[in-house]
């Protein structure tokens, strides 16, 4: 049995790496895509170009402006005396927001009255707009606090709520997206390449030559799975190295546990891909079917949309999505540093899915051969 699987492995590796383009697709493209997408995929909003309309032009108004310009969020592109140019600047996208300080701003503050300061945002980017308004609220609250302390000689609020984000103190989106993209790359490469492994042999007629050998069908499936599992591990390791060197993502938990769970995830993906491959008649069918699986697998994994926001029926369907469980495992080990005792449910679910997909592939392959 070992010798037959060994010969099968040699054949698969030779077939996989004899084509230069295939080598690029397997070993290089996932790393390039991870690097580019990790840089592009971010929800952090910094250096927001903002126009200031300062109608008051006093020490107090300039103090408020300096609060905005000194923060890491806002970049004051221009200070205007009126809002005549403002619509044109927003139309051209020269600024994303404008802050309008009214006449009498200083007098209102000195007399203890409230003074309305308006912020206008480009609402096309709804998520960015919400973040910009939140940042502006924080800057304004800090200005109010300092002003009240200055004029009244006391702190602004009796209760000071201090927030603290565990595992990601600066709330940097890369800590969420980079590991998530590694999971995406693993399912993308695994499903697309492996789904064509068996059907390609059907098309070129070599599968009949293999099946007349003494190799068993389970050995054939194992022989098809192991090369892609090994290349999956190599690709994953390279991606984690890039994540560390380029983005500073450190694995906080056990590497051994992470690699064990990743192996189960890759195996599950390969089992699903082999199931596609044994049922497809042509490589085009296999490729199209793989993409029809990949897209919902990513969208229903919780990577882009929170699972708890989905309808109950859709939430139930995500149970059969291996990426859902692997994302939970990956983020927990890589960012939180938790152990196996906290990941029993996703580990069992992921292992059950992997075993189920492989078993179905073997069963379906038997029917196909018979």
Model confidence, pTM = 0.73
Beta-sheet pairing, 97-101 with 118-121: antiparallel
Nearest one of 272, 126, 319, 346 to 134, comparing CA atoms: 126
Q: Are 135 and 89 in contact (CB under 8 A)?
A: no
Nearest one of 201, 234, 193, 192 to 220, comparing CA atoms: 201
Give the pLDDT of residue 361.
Answer: 83
Give the pLDDT of residue 265.
Answer: 93
Cα dist. 329→50, 176, 306, 339, 351 in Å?
40, 13, 16, 10, 12
Burial class (CB in 10 A: 0-12, 13-18, 19+), 152: exposed
Give the pLDDT of residue 271.
Answer: 86
pLDDT in tens, the chain (370 residues): 677 777 777 777 776 677 777 677 777 777 887 787 777 666 667 778 889 999 888 888 888 898 888 887 888 888 888 888 888 888 877 888 888 888 888 888 888 788 888 888 877 767 778 888 888 888 888 888 877 777 666 555 555 556 677 787 777 788 888 999 999 999 988 888 787 777 777 777 776 676 677 777 777 777 778 888 888 899 899 999 999 999 888 898 899 999 999 999 999 988 888 888 877 777 777 888 888 888 889 988 888 888 877 888 888 989 999 999 999 999 999 888 888 888 999 999 999 999 998 888 888 776 454 4
Q: CA angle, corner 332, sides to 330 and 334, nearest 5? A: 60
Q: Which long-range contacts (CB under 8 A, 24 or more apart) does 108-112 make?
A: 109/60, 109/147, 109/151, 110/60, 110/151
Rounded Cα gap, residues 109 and 144, in angstroms: 10
Give the pLDDT of residue 156.
Answer: 52
Q: Are 11 and 215 in contact (CB under 8 A)?
A: no
Q: Are 68 and 50 in contact (CB under 8 A)?
A: yes
Rounded Cα gap, residues 268 and 190, in angstroms: 10
Rounded Cα gap, residues 45 and 51, in angstroms: 16
């Amino acid at each position: 049995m070992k010798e037959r699987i060994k010969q099968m492995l040699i054949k698969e590796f030779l077939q996989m790496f004899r084509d230069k383009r295939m080598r690029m697709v397997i070993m290089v493209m996932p790393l390039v895509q991870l690097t580019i997408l990790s840089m592009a995929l971010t929800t952090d909003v910094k250096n927001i170009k903002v126009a200031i309309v300062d109608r008051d032009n006093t020490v107090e108004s300039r103090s408020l402006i300096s609060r905005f310009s000194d923060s890491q969020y806002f970049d004051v592109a221009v200070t205007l005396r009126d809002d005549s140019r403002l619509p044109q600047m927003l139309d051209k996208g020269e600024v994303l927001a404008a802050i309008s300080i009214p006449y009498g701003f200083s007098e209102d503050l000195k007399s203890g009255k409230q003074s309305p300061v308006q912020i206008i945002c480009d609402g096309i980017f709804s998520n960015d707009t919400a973040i910009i308004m939140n940042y502006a609220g924080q800057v304004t609250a800090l200005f109010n606090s300092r002003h009240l302390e200055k004029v009244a000689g006391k702190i602004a609020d009796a209760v000071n709520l201090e927030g603290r984000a565990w595992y990601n103190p600066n709330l940097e989106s890369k800590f969420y997206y980079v590991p998530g993209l590694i999971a995406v790359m693993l399912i993308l490469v695994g499903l697309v390449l492996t789904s064509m492994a068996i059907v390609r042999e059907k098309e070129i007629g070599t599968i009949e030559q293999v099946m007349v050998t003494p190799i068993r069908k389970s050995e054939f499936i194992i022989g098809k799975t192991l090369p892609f599992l090994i290349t999956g591990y190599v690709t994953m390791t390279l991606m984690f190295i890039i994540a560390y060197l380029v983005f500073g993502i450190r694995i906080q938990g056990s590497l051994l546990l992470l690699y064990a769970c990743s192996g189960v995830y890759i195996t599950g993906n390969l089992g699903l891909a082999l199931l596609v491959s044994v049922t497809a008649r042509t490589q085009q069918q296999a490729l199209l079917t793989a993409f029809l699986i990949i897209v919902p697998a990513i969208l229903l994994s919780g990577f882009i949309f929170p699972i708890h926001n989905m309808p109950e029926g859709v939430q139930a369907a995500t149970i059969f999505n291996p990426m859902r469980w692997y994302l939970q495992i990956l983020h927990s080990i890589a960012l939180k540093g938790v152990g196996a005792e906290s990941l029993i449910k996703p580990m069992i679910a992921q292992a059950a899915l992997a075993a189920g997909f492989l078993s179905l592939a073997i069963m379906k392959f038997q029917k196909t051969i018979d």
